[in-house]
Amino acid sequence: MKPVKIGLLGMGTVGGGTVTVLTRNNNEITRRAGRGILVAHAAVRDINRARPDSATDVILTTDPFEVVNNPELDIIVELIGGYDLARELVLKAIENGKHVVTANKALIAVHGNEIFAAAQKRGVTVAFEAAVAGGIPIIKAVREGLAGNSIEWMAGIINGTGNFILTEMRDKGSDFSDVLAEAQRLGYAEADPEFDVEGIDAAHKLTILASIAFGVPLQFDKAYTEGISKITGDDVNYAEELGYRIKHLGVTRRTEEGIELRVHPTLIPERRLIANVDGVMNAVLVQGDAVGPTLHYGAGAGAEATASAVVADLVDIVRALTTDPENRVPHLAFQPDALSDLPILPMESIETAYYLRMQATDQPGVLADITRILGDLEISIEAILQKESANNALHVPIILLTHRVREKQMNDALKQIEALASIRGNVTRIRLEQLS
């Protein structure tokens, strides 16, 4: 049987890794897919750039539309990233009756509803395992392996850059800015690190996971996003002292009122496995009603780790090339006409516990004022840590852990606490999840 011909849009880190994996593991992949998979055509920025030996037979072009319009290609692999051009190319490929594999989480999170509708109408597949958590097969695990479960919640470390920074802050006692510079030097962070450190990248991925877990349309614009740039070394140390670790966590949970969809720094008990995921590694904790908790761990980025997911999608599509389009695995796990209209909850409606750090005047009665405000708003305290005055300073740090409460109540409490004459500056708030 003739090999399936594919076209690559982009042959950078992941594209090059995809060609390498397909070539090196050609025999094994052919045995699994039932047919060979051949990279025949690729769009690149610079045709003259040095390529691996495995790419010498690939036809190169600087025009990506030449690839998506090539009638000899069966599958298009989109690896250029971004929103607009990628959307245009993917929709054109679908219009031409080609299946699509993409590693572009931003594209799926923002334009996925439109893309999947077009693919459904044309009878082709859009596969996107590589868009979330790199080489971890989390999409397949939730969409297929856990299909017998009602998913209750998911929590994930799904951005390696942020996890590297928080790990280094804890292990080396360094400040955020110093560790960010180190991450940029090592190539873990971009020159403009906003997408990583402010949680946008993680929110793209979490949006996709929530849709697959709960059968709701993709709604990236409703995701709450908060970064790690305001986390200090003191916060990391105080969390450790209280038995917690700070992770930049994506959390999505089904409640009676709707779906939680949020990315923010989070205190996690240090005994949890996910609290011990360090460096650039990713992990996703999934709670199903039948299976209970499952932890999915691995490399969230990198040439061959991400290529592993791209090639797995290619194998799935090749296996299903002769399948009736109506009987393929649905893009968002649930049949398109069976998606739920459960709302995404606003952050003020979310219920969680909190870590609070404030600078307070070192005098009697201050703690009583703070606890009175919390008590009036029915916020109960789990633990208090008050540090000694250093060098006779006028202000001392006070750290509180609270029990679970709605975010709106905490917002009201913080306004009142910050208005006290005895409190200097803003109160640092970090949400806390037991994940039990």
For the cut 80, the answer to whether the pLDDT of residue 243 exceeds it is: yes
Number of domains the chain is built from: 3
Distant-in-sequence, close-in-space partners of 183: CB < 8 Å, separation ≥ 6: 161, 164, 165, 168, 189, 193
The Cα angle at residue 21 between residues 20 and 22, in degrees rounded to 5: 95
Please check whether residue 292 is in contact with residue 170, taking contact to mean a CB–CB distance below 8 angstroms. no
Contact of 180 with 158, CB cutoff 8 Å: no
Averaged pLDDT, 336-350 = 90
Q: Is the pLDDT of residue 333 over 80?
A: no
DSSP 3-state percent helix, strand, coil across the chain (nearest 5): 40, 25, 35
Q: What is the pLDDT of residue 206?
A: 98
pLDDT in tens, 148-180: 999 999 999 999 999 999 999 999 999 999 999
pLDDT score of 304: 92
Give the separation between CA 433 and CA 287, rounded to whole angstroms: 14
pLDDT for the residue numbered 10? 94
Band of pLDDT at residue 277, cut at 50, 70 and 90: very high
**Any idea what the CATH number is for the domain that residue 352 is in?**
3.30.70.260
What is the domain extent for residue 428? 348-432
Q: Is 130 helix (H, G, I), strand (E, B) or coil?
A: helix
Domain contains 230: yes
What's the average model confidence in pLDDT over 33-57?
A: 85
Band of residue 101 on the pLDDT scale cut at 50, 70, 90: very high
Co-location of 145 and 22 in the same domain: no
Q: Are residues 13 and 95 in the same domain?
A: yes
Show the CA angle centred on residue 371, arms to residues 366 and 372, nearest 5°: 95
Contact 293, 167 (CB under 8 A): no
Helix (H) or strand (E) holding 162: helix 160-172
Based on the domain organization, do 324 and 395 belong to the same domain? Answer: no
Question: Among the options 205, 230, 387, 415, which is catalytic?
Answer: 205
> Which is more confidently placed, 363 or 97?
97
pLDDT of residue 341: 87
Last residue of a domain, one of 282, 316, 338: 338
* 343 falls within a domain: no
Same domain, 122 and 169: no
Q: How far is CA 321 from the centre of its chain?
A: 30
Within a domain: residue 41?
yes
**In the annotation, is 205 catalytic?**
yes
Say if residues 357 and 234 touch (Cβ distance below 8 Å). Answer: yes
pLDDT at 88 over 90: yes
Of residues 301 and 122, more confidence is placed in: 122
CA quadruple 126, 127, 131, 132: dihedral positive or negative? positive
Based on the fold, state whether residues 28 and 81 are members of the same structural domain.
yes
Residues 178 and 256 reside in one and the same domain: yes
Which amino acid is present at 68?
Answer: V
Q: Classify residue 225: in a domain, yes or no.
A: yes
Q: Quote the pLDDT of residue 389.
A: 65
* Model confidence at 2: pLDDT above 90: no
- CB contact at 8 A, 249 and 260: no
Over the chain, what is the mean pLDDT?
A: 93
Final residue before a domain boundary, out of 284, 314, 338:
338
If phi over 0 gives left and psi between -120 and 50 gives alpha, with beta otherwise, what is residue 298?
left
3-state secondary structure of 262: strand
Residue 130 confidence (pLDDT) above 70: yes
278 shares its domain with 210: yes
Say if residue 98 is in the same domain as residue 156: no
Q: How far apart are CA 330 and CA 344, in angstroms?
A: 22
In contact, 400 and 122? CB cutoff 8 Å: no
pLDDT top residue among 329 and 67: 67
Taking residues 234-259, what's their average pLDDT? Answer: 96
User: In percent, how much of the chain has pLDDT > 90?
Assistant: 82
* Model confidence band, residue 331 (pLDDT cutoffs 50, 70, 90): confident
pLDDT at 294 over 80: yes
Contacts of 337 (CB under 8 A, 6+ apart): none
pTM for this entry? 0.92
Q: Please report, for the domain that includes residue 29, its CATH number.
A: 3.40.50.720
Asked whether residue 288 is assigned to any structural domain, the reply reads yes
- Based on the fold, state whether residues 207 and 247 are members of the same structural domain: yes
